[in-house]
Amino acid sequence: MVRYYMPAGIWLVAIVFLSTKGGVSVPSFDLLQTDKLAHAAAYALLVWLLWWGMIRQRQHAGHNRWSYGLAIVLFATAFGALMEWVQFRFFPDRHFEYDDMLANAIGAVVGWWVFTFTSKRIEH
């Protein structure tokens, strides 16, 4: 079971590393910054990899596909919020940014959407 989620686990560790490294400037709200696009891409990939693991493990049922997708998106969004809190609480040079959380959530939804279009090829 673990091997199916290994890529997602490795990517999760990469997100933690990137979220906690220093050298970030004071935040300003702008969703079209490269930083926000990187957040969205990171969480889109996380959701895609989690879905990929679930498909490879065959732990989805056709009628529950929507609920699995929603659970994965909610997990990724909550994890993004947790990382923002960790940055604020434990890293003095990092900041809690609502626009990062929004970019993470948008990326998670986009990852789910992209997976729905690519999953047909993965399942066969």
Residue ranges per domain, the chain? Answer: 39-124
What percent of the chain is predicted at pLDDT more than 90? 34
Mean pLDDT over each residue of the chain, to the nearest integer? 82
Instruction: Choose the weakest-confidence range: 44-48, 50-54, 105-109, 111-115.
Output: 50-54
- Return the DSSP state at 33: S
Looking at per-residue confidence, does 124 or 83 come out higher?
83
Looking at per-residue confidence, does 117 or 46 come out higher?
46
Q: What is the pLDDT of residue 21?
A: 76
CB 37 within 8 A of CB 103: yes
pLDDT(26) > 50 = no
Three-class SS state of 25: coil
Instruction: Choose the weakest-confidence range: 57-61, 84-88, 112-116.
Output: 57-61
Mean pLDDT to the nearest integer, 84-108: 89
Torsional sign, CA 48, 39, 86, 6: positive
Burial class of residue 16 in the structure, from the number of CB atoms within 10 Å of its CB (0-12 exposed, 13-18 middle, 19+ buried): middle
What is the reported pTM? 0.79
